Chains A and B, each alone.
Chain A
C-alpha cells in the first residue's frame, strides 16, 4: 500500500519528505476510522451484553438491533456545548481529554492486526505499548486536578493509585511471554506461537494479565475510580460534550487495544488454520472483549483496601514466582527432553 501511494504521488511530482508525510497522514486517518468504528461497535456490544445480563432489552431502536445507537450518541455529544466550570485550570482542563485520547490512539501503531498488517514494525513494540499506556495516568491526573472539584480529584487520585499499582503485575505477567519468545517485537511474539499458544505455557500469567488489565481499564470489579454511588463519575465529573466523548472513546479504545494485546501475546494473535488471518484476529479479540464484559457485569465492586491487598500481597509475588519458574523451565527443558529419550 505504501508503494502504491508513493508511486501515485510520484506521478504528481510529490516525492521525498512530503510524500512520506502524506503516507503517514493517510495511514493515520485509516487507523482513526478503524478505531472509531470498532469502539462504537464495542460500546454497542457492551450495552447489549449488559442488558442481557440484567434481563433488560438494551438499545434496540436505531438501526437493526440498535447497532447505530452509538453513532447517534456521538452526534448528540458533538452537538452539545462544552462547559468550563468556574475556577478550572483552563489549559490543564482543556488538554486532559485530548492527551487521554491521543495516548489511547498511539497504542495501535505497534499492534499487528493480521499477517503483515502492522503500521510500525518496532523492535521494542511491547515496550512501546506499555510505555504509552502508562501516559494515560497523567491525563487522568490532569482531569482530576484541573476540574477543581472534590469528586474529580478523589476519582483522579484513586485511578492513579490503582493504575500505578496494577501496572506492575501487568508488566511482570508479560515477562514470561517475552522470555519464551525471545523478542519484544509483537510480530515475532505471534510467530513464536505457531505450534503452541502461550496461554498453554503461561496459564498463570494469563490469569494475572486479565485481572491486572481489568484494573488498568477501571472496569468492575475494579471500578473504584468512577464509582457512581460514591464519586458521581470520578475524574470526568465536570466534563461535557466532545470532551466527555474523548474520555469515553479513550476508555473503550483502551479496552479494545488491551484485548488485542492479550490476543497477541497469549492467544496466538492472528494465527489460525483455514481462514484468513484477519478473521481469526477479529474472532479472538471479540472473544476476549466478551470475557471482559462477562466479568464486569457479573462481579460486584471490590473494597479499596482489599484491592490493594490483592495486588501487592497476591498478584505481584505470584507473577515474580512465575518469572522464576519460566526461567528455570526454559533452561531445564533441553535436559528433561534428553532424559526422557
Chain B
C-alpha cells in the first residue's frame, strides 16, 4: 500500500515541480538574490555558490551513507540471520569524519572572511556618492547631502560609481535590502550603518524592508533606479528644480486644497509648503516636490496612477494598516483636484 501511494505522491510532486519550473522560466523575479547587478552582490554570490557546492557534496555523502546503511548494509528484523555484530566504535572512522568537515570549513572560512573584510571598508574613496537612507514606519527617505536633493521611496543612483549608503532610522529597526545590488543591512536607531557598492547594470530594481518593523512591515517597499551617469545628472537636475506651480485649471485648484488641507503639515513640496518640521532624522511624511516623477506611491505598494492616489488619500489605513497618514475626508471634486495637482508635480 505504502509503496504504491508513495509512487503516486512522487509523481504528483514531480508534476507540480515541473509546472513550477515552467512558471519560473516564464516569470521575472524582481527580488531575485541570484541575479547580481553590483560588485557587492557578485561577491556575495560567489561565496554563496562555493558554500552551496560544499554543502551539496556533504549532503550527497550523508544521503548515500544513510541509504547504504538502511538498504544495503543492514538486514531486517524478523528475517532469518545472525544478530548484528555489536560494534560500537572505530577510531579511524571517527577521526575521518571529524577531520573531513574541519577541512571543508577551512575552505569555506577563507573566502568568507575575505569577503567580510572586503565588503565592510573603514574608508571610502572621496568620489563615492553618499546617499543617506532614513527609514520610517513605513517608508523610505533618501537624501543626497552632496547634491542637495532628496526624494522618497525611489532612489536613483548612477552606475559604475561607488555608492555609499548611510542608513539611519527615524523610529524602530528596519533593514535596507536591495537583493540585486547586495545584501541587507539593518537600519538601527541611534547608529549609522553603511553599505558600499558599485552598481553595474542600469535598470529598475526592487527593494524592501527586511526586519519586522510593525503593522505594515509588508508595505515598506522601495525601488532603486540605477541610471547611466548622464541619466543620473539629468535626474538630479530635475530634482533640484522648483516644483511646477499650475497656473489654472483643476490642478491649481488642487494646489490650494493642498495648502489648506493638513497635507502640508507632514509633506513638503519645496517652495510651497514649509510646514514640515524636521522630525528626528527626517520628515514625518515623504517629500512630494517631484511626486509625479515617481512610479509608485505609498512606499512601492501601489502604482502611481490618479485612481490609486485617490484610493490612498481616501483611505490610507486600508492600503497601509497603521500608517500615520490620517483619513482626511476629502471626496468628490476636491479629491479629484488634489489628485490632479499632485500628479502634476513632475
State yes or no: do A and B come from one complex.
Answer: no
